[in-house]
Amino acid sequence: MTAQEISPGLVIRGITPPLNLHDFRLITFDMDSTLINIECVDEIADAAGRKAEVAAITEAAMRGEIADYKESLRQRVALLRGVSVASMEAVYATRLQLNPGAAELVAACKQAGLKVLLVSGGFTFFTDRIRDRLGIDFTRSNMLEVQDGLLTGRMVDQPWGDICDGDEKRKMLLETCAKLGIQPRQAIAVGDGANDLPMMGSAGLSVAYHAKPTVREQAMVAINSGGLDRLLELMDKMSTRAVP
């Protein structure tokens, strides 16, 4: 499919007008480096003096260079052993920020009647807070095991399974569509890393946000500069007329 840059840093591929937010019923977001500005696992690792080591694994996983995402996450979480919950609170309070346009896009989607789903290979410690902060309807992410206020270096199995990887993100998107009584083509999926591709491939509209090259190349929309609310700019351009 031919890519078309309709304005600086905003690229579309394989879609034609009209395109309207009201055509969709669900928007699904990745969290780390998509809805928020950091990779939480890397920042937690900083408290253990292991940020460089963990960040290197994260970067390779997001580029799609690690085939077994679950094992890569287990390796990274093992390196977090001994980090305190207080240190995670500090990450949330001092390092984590919503990415530009995130709150505006979520609010616009909710106003248009869409439900909002947050799926993350990150952790409930952060997704629960972002859920409450933005009024998100559904979440799925991983739970870190804590004993005596310290991370054990393990994750806790949950009723749906062990680790939220790319396949689990896709499964959750499809399950949420079924719960809402809608078709996957009525869903938007927004992500930045290789583990977002399965859900992006199942959605009616896939959006890459400041993404890895392989994700940009497969997404229907690539936001390469500016904030998440540039999706609203795209909708405005494509709602009633052809893109010049």
Please list the active-site residues: 30, 32
User: Locate tokens 């993350």: which residue?
Assistant: 120
Nearest to 231 by CA among 2, 15, 1: 15
Omega before residue 159 within 30° of 0, cis? no
Contact 151, 81 (CB under 8 A): yes
**C-beta neighbour count of 144 within 10 angstroms:** 21
- DSSP notation for 103-157: HHHHHHHHHTT-EEEEEEEEEHHHHHHHHHHHT-SEEEEEEEEEETTEEEEEEE-
Kind plus residue range of the DSSP H or E element containing 187: strand 187-191
Q: How far apart are CA 174 and CA 190, in angstroms?
A: 15
Task: With H, G, I as helix, E, B as strand and everything else as coil, classify residue 234.
Answer: helix
